[in-house]
Amino acid sequence: MRKTLFGLLLFASSAALAQDNAALMNDDKQWIMPSRDYAQTRYSRLNQITTANAGKLQVAWTFSVGSNHGQQAAPIVVNGVMYVVGAYPNELFALDAATGEMKWKYSPHVDPAAQGVACCDVVNRGEVYSNGRIFYNTLDNHTVAVDAKTGKEVWAVKLGDISQGQTMTMAPLAAHGKIFVGNSGGEMGIHGWVTALDENSGKIAWRAYSVGSDKDVKIGPRFKPFYPDAKGKDLGMKTWPNGRWQSGGGPVWGWISYDPRTNLIFYGTGNPGPWNSNQREGDNKWTSTLFARDADTGEAVWADQLNPHDLFDYDEINENLLLDLPINGQLRPVLVHPGRNGFIFVIDRATGQIYSADKYDTQTSILSYDIQKGRPVHNDALKPLIGKNITGICPAAPGAKDWQPTAFSPRTRLLYIPHQHLCMDYKTSEAAYIPGTPYVGATVNMYAGPGHYRGEFAAWDLTNRRKVWAIHEKFPVWTGTMVTAGNIAVYGTMDRWFKVVDATNGRLLYQFRAPSGFIGQPITYQGGDGRQYLAMLSGVGGWAGALANSEIDPRVRNGALGYAGAANDLPSVTSGGSTLMVFALPGASSNTGGSP
């Protein structure tokens, strides 16, 4: 009887939390998580700023988070208060969302040694709100809960080990009374995982590894994959050379979606280790895979390995948008995944069946995608061979789009895709696994794709499966985007431009040159003064912008895992930064916030 009563109380508590989050998500004044909603749409119904008046936007206020590393976090706004976390040392700030006045600052104790383990700058992708608390991850593998009113730490739990190459850079997801997090370190040969924490206590509810035995991966009786190559026992071990799965990667550092109707989470796993595919024969399951899991138990329901035996770091950690789209004349619940491998996937989110896979950028390494088999058809002429320099591979290792998230507008019915447009030369070599050190085995030289531009902001029609319009940019478009009912879409560029465009045709409506390049995520919200605001962190860095804020010789084209060649002119237009930029239409309130 006690267990039954406890279970009922736990269910009731989870339901109350879900209702709290749902109410805030339905309130257009708020932006309580980086994706704005569980479905990852990044769409707001605010319409004070429109295509007609966006040209009048002004800087309302600014704030420095005090760390000149890559700033990738999305601010969030709850009841008139903005919360924003900076790159290492991962300080969290609470600000008045209308004026920028600082209310409090939380400074976690982050192990400095974590800086030497992070593969691609010491970034952080943001925080989430739930039930009066702010949750986020620190670089040294801690998830923390902070009281939203006071800034006092409620709990902190260590989940990984930097000595094994693990870090944490992702934004958590708060849903159904749990906090979902994953680890980074695919270039270090880590053992990737996703973990669910109890929201109240921080205790681990469950953990599912990306590779290993069925028990480790939480594959059991509920697992019903659509494709035959995902059926079999212990494939997370048997599709690897003997023992290689133990350093096989599969990190979970991207985005997690949640469907309240089915109580499932959806996410993708990262690249296998090492990059040198010649050292790991087989499909290397379950890296570069999309998973559907029960949010309460972690049990796998289905999995699609989009890149079996990943050849070029085309891991699939990108966001999964949960939409209802017409499929063969019938409206169906689907998962839309803009893949790093250059294809946009539309997938049945109940079964994992791939309905379509369309190229959205230049693709030479994969000729087509066989949706009947659920596997890519590779270009054999470009497969890596030990010691041979393979040229003309598109897209480059970051994929056609990396972590930077898309947005979907139910008004225009378009998906907005910020992405890079890069190709590469690729030479593999033997890599030795030493815990906590790089485990790559590839020398990479990246460069602009056809047309000699390196980035694109594009609008994609999911129903008619075609690109509607596109804006070409000099540098990779490494920021996320968002779209509103005012038919504006927002993104930033690495050469310091904050841009607002017409969501229907891509026409530039407003731009502002910030102190540093943008690799962050824009949001919109309504302040306590009734005005609609746009906000995004500026501060170049990350993998794409490492050259501009670190001591890397731009003449060494294979520096920064090959990205130095793709952005060797970036230091001539920007350096590192830490400025939160907030914009609004002219009005009574206009302030400049201070630095910490």
- Whole-angstrom CA distances from 453 to 77, 207, 421, 448, 507 are 35, 42, 7, 6, 19
**Six token digits for residue 274:** 């090492």
Q: What does each C-alpha distance from 230 to 184, 225, 308, 339, 480 come to in angstroms?
A: 24, 6, 10, 19, 32
Cα Rg of the chain, angstroms: 22
β-strands 482-484, 43-44 pairing: parallel
Of these residues, 313, 315, 402, 425, which one is catalytic?
Answer: 313
Supply the DSSP string of 564-587, one letter for each residue: HHHTTTGGGT-----EEEEEE-S-
Distance CA 431, CA 449 (A): 28
Cβ partners under 8 Å of residue 2, min gap 6: none
Residue 550's Cβ-count burial label (10 Å; 0-12, 13-18, 19+) is: middle
Q: Give strand pairing partners of 191.
A: 249
Give the closest residue to 516 by CA, choosing from 549, 544, 543.
549
- Four-point Cα dihedral 557, 562, 564, 566, nearest 10: 100
Rounded Cα gap, residues 248 and 288, in angstroms: 11
Between CA 226 and CA 470 the distance in angstroms is 34
**Residue 326 burial by CB count (10 A; 0-12/13-18/19+): exposed, middle or buried?**
exposed
SS3 category, 145: strand
Catalytic site includes residue 271: yes
Main-chain phi, psi angles of 560, to 5 degrees? 50, 50
Distance between first and last Cα of the chain: 53
Residue 188: name the closest of 138, 118, 280, 288 by CA.
118
Residues 6+ apart with CB under 8 A from 485: 43, 44, 45, 46, 47, 411
* From 37, 121, 127, 187, the catalytic residue: 187
Alpha-carbon distance of 528 to 588, in angstroms, equals 12
Among 90, 183, 271, 549, the one annotated catalytic: 271
Q: Find tokens 């994969």 and name the residue.
A: 366
List of residues 6+ apart from 180 with CB closer than 8 A: 172, 173, 174, 194, 195, 196, 197, 256, 258, 265, 267, 295
C-beta separation of 270 from 186 below 8 A: yes
Q: How many CB atoms lie within 10 A of CB 438?
A: 17
Q: Which residues contact 209 (CB under 8 A, 6 or more apart)?
A: 191, 192, 193, 216, 217, 236, 250
d(Cα 430, Cα 440) in Å, to the nearest integer? 9
Tell me which residues are annotated as active site. 187, 271, 313
